[in-house]
Structure formats: C-alpha cells, structure tokens
Amino acid sequence: MITNPDIERYMSDLLPARDQVLADMETYATGNNIPIVGPAVGRFLAALAMMTKATRIFELGSAIGYSTIWFARAAGPQAEVHYSDGSPENAERARRYFERANVASSIRIHVGDALTALASTPGSFDLIFNDVDKDGYPAVLAAVPDRIRTGGLFVTDNTLWHARVLEPKEATDKAVCAFNRELFNSQKFYTTQVPIRDGVSVGIRL
C-alpha cells in the first residue's frame, strides 16, 4: 500500500458490494496471485469512461478481464471494448466471466502481445488503459498518442509502483519512473496522477 492503511480501509469500506461475477473474480485473483486493479480503481476507471462517454476502449494487459468488465458496464452495450492479454488461459477464463457478466457482445478478445493487437486494430479510441508488464510502459507511451482521439484518455495503472518510484533500483522501477517523467513532460497529454491503490495516471489527449 502506498497510502495510510487506515485511509485505504476507510475508502474500501465505502465501496458498494460487487455483484457475484466481480466478487468471484476478486476471490479467484486473490487466491491465484492475479494482479487486478481491484474495486476502488475499477470504479474509478468506470467513472472515467462515463465522464468521457467513451464507447471505444482498448485495454493493454487484461488478465482475467476484471477491469474489462468495469469498462464494458460503464460504456454500455453499444460500446466496443478490446481485451488483450498474452495468456490464452487468461483469455479463456475472461471469456467465461464476460458471458456470466452479460457483456460478452461488446468485448473483442485479443490473445498475444498487447501492442501488436492495438496496431492491428484500426481506428482511434476514446480511452486506452495501460496495464501491461511495467518494463513495457515506455513502449506503450510511444505507441498510444496517435491512437487516442483529442479529448480522449490515456490511463495507466501502477504508476506509483508500490512506492518503488521513490528509490528506483530494478529495471522495472526505472521503466515506471521514465514513463511517468515522459508522460508528464509530453505536449500530447495533459496528465494528472491519482494515488489510489498503486497509483493511476490519467492523460487527456491534447
């Protein structure tokens, strides 16, 4: 945790209970060490999608599809939400959750490298969510500006990286720091950062 644990607990207690599908996913993720955004960030992502009326969303790094479901529900049944993950097992599990959550018809599943999937999907997006392996963040930042409409959002999870950004030692820590610095300096985005859970940055495409 990067914030005061009491504050974290207080914020968590305010969150409404999730439905059975999201609750099952949270339990599965905890039991199987699958790093998902969790309900506080899930709700924040959904709010961002609602605020910007996003209907075309691409998610880079989706695992079992937990954040994908938050986006799909927020964007509505006419939306197009792209799931991408390198693991076929994750994708199959996600597909079953999408069916149970009644959002399967608005989700396109891509299995393989997330940036390759983005490159092979034409058109621009209202929102791109970045949650791939952290050493891949700089490459994501190079790829996404041309794919987000003006006024659209580039949202990235784990930008405070368990506070390792304060004293970067590993290559992964340094990649997150380089990403943050470049994103905040970029003339293509107006960027802010929110310290919920592990940090989420939000860049508005200018």
Can you tell me which of 87, 121, 172, 186 binds ligand SAM, judged by CB under 6 A? Answer: 87
**Separation in Å, CA 170 to CA 34, 46, 134, 161, 176:** 21, 32, 11, 12, 10
Taking CB under 6 A as the rule, does residue 152 contact ligand SAM? no
Give whichever of 18 and 187 is closer to ligand SAM, judged by the CB atom.
18
Find out whether 68 and 95 touch, Cβ atoms under 8 Å: no
* Nearest-CB residue for ligand SAM: 61
CA distance 197 to 151: 25
CB of 192 to ligand SAM, least distance (A): 20
Check if the beta carbon of residue 27 is closer than 8 Å to that of residue 50.
no
User: Minimum CB separation from ligand SAM for residue 67, in Å?
Assistant: 4
Min. distance of Cβ 187 from ligand SAM in angstroms?
Answer: 26
DSSP 148: E
* Residue 72 near ligand SAM by CB under 6 A: no
- CA–CA gap between residue 179 and residue 158 (Å, rounded): 11
Surface-to-core class of residue 32, CB atoms within 10 Å of its CB (0-12 exposed, 13-18 middle, 19+ buried) = exposed
Of 22, 44, 58, 62, the one binding ligand SAM (CB under 6 A) is: 62
Q: Is 133 in the site for ligand SAM (CB under 6 A)?
A: yes
* Nearest-angstrom CA–CA distance, 60 and 131: 6
Give the interface size with ligand SAM as a residue count (CB under 6 A): 19
Q: For ligand SAM, which stretch binds (CB under 6 A), given 46-54, 100-108, 126-134, 163-171?
A: 126-134
* Contact between residue 152 and residue 124 where contact means Cβ atoms under 8 Å apart: yes
Shortest gap between Cβ of 11 and ligand SAM (angstroms)?
17
- Give the residue with the Cβ less far from ligand SAM, 65 or 152: 65
Beta bridge partners of 26: none
User: What's the CA gap between 98 and 66, in Å, rounded?
Assistant: 9
Question: Which residue of 39, 49, 128, 131 would you call a contact of ligand SAM, by CB under 6 A?
Answer: 131
User: Is 63 a residue that touches ligand SAM (CB under 6 A)?
Assistant: yes
Asked if 66 interacts with ligand SAM (CB under 6 A), we say yes
